[in-house]
Chains A and B, each alone.
Chain A
């Protein structure tokens, strides 16, 4: 068909023929983009090794669920819907856009019509609408987007600029199509139907009487704008958060598969060869792995992680979002697209404060929230490893670390007293003679703390009734080392782990039970070659299902709520077993807090986190007990000794003594057991 308007490739734009002009724009734009990407890849090439190409099927699964399926997005419903629509629009428009770019260089162009054309039109319209809503949201400034003064200026202007550009792209597209159809209609040529009520359609409706010259100019102008805007955006995106448009696919594909674990000090270096590693942890930027740097590029600055971060909520200087943004900005500065690379500065003390790094309780709320599966815990642990390697450890943590080294527990209490609590309860000490095959791993706080020993007794009581025979390691048990590792003291952790592994293997145990979620997580993920481990709540739930445990009813009038411990819930996905146990107790009225399951709010941290003295406005535990009160509960059921410590203290601080109580699940179960 001969068109009424000449296609862009044939038109002369300011002395250059369209085809040539657009070839040039396409080539230069693409080449420039490739150059920028290469520069962005450069620091990743200098970074540490990471093992991310294993288990491709599982990775593909993640890609489909989280990237293509936008799985995490609806957790913030409004923003989530906008993004899903936007993402869907982009996916639909990919082919359309390529076609459009090709059009400028082709001799016989024809915009795509038919079904795909209609879908594309709607997609573009949806994207345009999303952009408008997004711009309005940015102007209304949800709290999540706020940039506290110490982190720099707000990102609003930049965000709006980019959103507007995308909108412009959509508008240009619509005007281009609309213009072409108007020209055909004016000249009584067959009109490809544009999708009704799409923006292209509206453009078309707006122009019917316009003179051909105007339509032509709009048509060609729109095309040129589209070309330029497309390549501008393409090359601009890698300079900011919009880079996630390109990198998100890779970040999700390469995301960590094994939650609950911590990355090794160096991938590819086994424990026995660690002595040869010169420096532990992340001190300078390229000590991060390439995947972590990719994470920094991919952070979309949505702020959902920081919104969920309990440390952030209580005013500690930690905001996960800014861990990424600051690192990304550092990277852009030191590995610029234009100019030479300069590495070298220590990150701790410059872009990150030490308090920031030590403030994290490793609760995992950030990682559970991020739509791009960006990892934070490994980065924090690596940063801590770097600080420990330099000897830069706060005095408040040096004391328990020293005690762990010399006495096997962070309290400095004598090893020979570790099993004293068990003597009164007549608990057997396993010694490998096959007397028992169930090991109750007690860990330090339950062994030594007067109040928490009652959790030990309750657990033993339950095991007494439901296990054939069980025992504990006794004085040969040392701290599991779970938080020693997460606070960056890898060598001490390995010593504790190796010692305990040996003790466990010599005990003759074939299964392990523990009431301590930190110990549970360590035995499950950090330890190798030990028998399978269960948390006591899983054990009890099993026995309840099998009818081996039955409960007496509780007294009337109390309202219970269950607090999901971080290391049972988020890190290990154990949400239902404890609830099953509670629901099996007759007469027990249970309510859920608003923030429960994977949105649970950390109690304040366990293990070494109990010793660190952060700068904060309020304690996490206090916030949590208030959440329980708001939910209408007067009994908080915890399932972790550290949660118990933090909650009982918080109850006193919040002035709720007498109105709220905390009880451990094992204590409650043992009390009500018939």
Chain B
């Protein structure tokens, strides 16, 4: 088997958790091999990262270069090409950075490329059998990958469970000299932070998260009522932001916020991995969706096949009723008629199958 390298993503002196998942994936390729960590960067933070990696990797290849102070894939790529031996296998997370770096890297390394890998089996010395998803997660596919000239694989976050292993006490090998001068034809300017908005969803223990199933902006208040009754906040998936029904600051997912609530109610959310990537910790996940085959049901703890536009108001009403003593009918009626006056809660039935 060729040598397996794990590309380390790091930020502010800390290596990303994904490294452990990469090790697990590497084991599937060659169970006896200790993969090599390869990291690129510059400065004291970077030095600290490389040191910390010694605990999990037998070898840590350090690529230090002033131009690599900010992780610019256009500069990391030529550095890796110079450092990695021909025919190697490189693993990294399938993320914003991974998809920026890896495809071009595979060309420069003349290696095979397989993105967003969810499982790995070895068929023979030069062939892997991989599992990927297509069509937005609706079906899976088996893919044959020829690794005779090496391979670059990006790994689906969360697909490979980290394995327990003894601490490694590895060595850091400085490969910086091999790199030479790096010139950038793409230059980093700055990062514009996402607006924080009025509500910081990362601070709430309960999130009522809505997806396309909410159907229109006016229905968002249904979710707000439920969140209110549960003492939580409303978050959402990407399509809701794209449709301008909620602000970007409410989006949970790989291109949104990462949240660690205790309870996550996924309402009308299909469960794409980019969305799920934003949910950490192990919250109690309740999925409510009209489509019983929605991928979300594979990861939820509890599932309900229902139309959220009808189910959520019922749930809210019951919660309010059973919380802290009986609420009188008159109070409920008063609340309902007060609600009429704002932009309202129209409940246009599902007409578009999302």
Contact = CB atoms under 8 A, between A and B. Distances in A.
Interface of A: 399-400, 403, 410-413, 445, 448-451, 610-611, 613, 617-619, 621-622, 645, 648-650, 652-655
B186 interface: no
Contact of B216 (A413, A613, A617, A618): A613
A648 B347 CA distance: 9
Contact of B353 (A413, A610, A618, A652): A413
Interface stretch (B8-16, B35-43, B256-264, B333-341): B333-341
A242 B224 CA distance: 53
A410 B352 CA distance: 8
B353 A650 contact: no
13 contacts: A399-B352, A400-B352, A403-B352, A411-B352, A450-B349, A619-B346, A622-B340, A645-B348, A648-B349, A652-B347, A655-B336, A655-B337, A655-B340
Contact of B340 (A400, A451, A621, A653): A653
A618 B336 CA distance: 16
Contact of A449 (B336, B346, B349): B349
A449 B351 contact: yes
Contacts of A619: 344, 346
A649 B351 contact: no
Interface residues of B, number: 17
Nearest to B310: A652
Nearest to A622: B344
B351 A610 contact: yes
Nearest to A450: B349
Contacts of B346: 619, 621-622, 649-650, 652-653
Contacts of B339: 655
B142 interface: no
B241 to A, nearest CB: 14
Contacts of B336: 655
Contacts of A653: 340, 344-347
B217 interface: yes
A649 B352 contact: no
A645 B351 CA distance: 10
A632 B337 CA distance: 19
A393 to B, nearest CB: 16
Contacts of A400: 352
Contact of A411 (B337, B343, B353): B353
A649 B349 CA distance: 8
Contacts of A649: 346-349
A613 B216 CA distance: 8
A206 B344 CA distance: 65
Shortest Cβ-Cβ A-B pairs, 4 listed: A655-B336, A653-B344, A653-B346, A652-B347
Contacts of B344: 618-619, 622, 653
Nearest to B344: A653
Interface string B210-235: 00000011000000000000000000
B352 A613 contact: no
Contacts of A621: 346
Nearest to B333: A655
A645 B349 contact: yes
B349 A412 contact: no
A610 B351 CA distance: 9
A649 B217 CA distance: 15
Contacts of A654: 340
Contacts of A412: 352-353
B330 to A, nearest CB: 13
Give the interface centre of A410, A411, A621, A653 by most chain B CB atoms within 10 Å: A653
Give the interface centre of B333, B345, B346, B353 by most chain A CB atoms within 10 Å: B346
A621 B339 CA distance: 16
Given A618-B343, A654-B340, 5 more contacts: A611-B351, A645-B349, A649-B348, A653-B344, A655-B336
Contacts of A413: 353
Contacts of A611: 351-352
Given A411-B353, A412-B353, A413-B353, A610 B340 contact: no
A412 B351 CA distance: 9
A621 to B, nearest CB: 8
Nearest to B313: A652
Contacts of B333: 655
Contacts of A410: 351-352
B349 A451 contact: yes
Nearest to B354: A412
Nearest to A655: B336
A450 B307 CA distance: 12
Give the interface centre of B217, B346, B351 by most chain A CB atoms within 10 Å: B351
A400 B354 CA distance: 12
Contacts of A445: 351
Contacts of B217: 613
B201 to A, nearest CB: 24
Contacts of A650: 346
A619 B345 CA distance: 10
A645 B350 CA distance: 10
Given A411-B353, A412-B353, A413-B353, A610 B348 contact: yes
Nearest to B338: A655
Contacts of B345: 652-653
Contacts of A610: 348, 351
Contacts of A622: 340, 344, 346
Contacts of B353: 411-413
Nearest to A650: B346
A621 B349 CA distance: 14
A449 B217 CA distance: 21
B339 to A, nearest CB: 7
A445 B352 CA distance: 11
A618 B342 CA distance: 8
A448 B217 CA distance: 23
A42 B295 CA distance: 65
Nearest to A448: B351
Give the interface centre of B340, B344, B345, B347 by most chain A CB atoms within 10 Å: B344
Nearest to B351: A411
A411 to B, nearest CB: 5
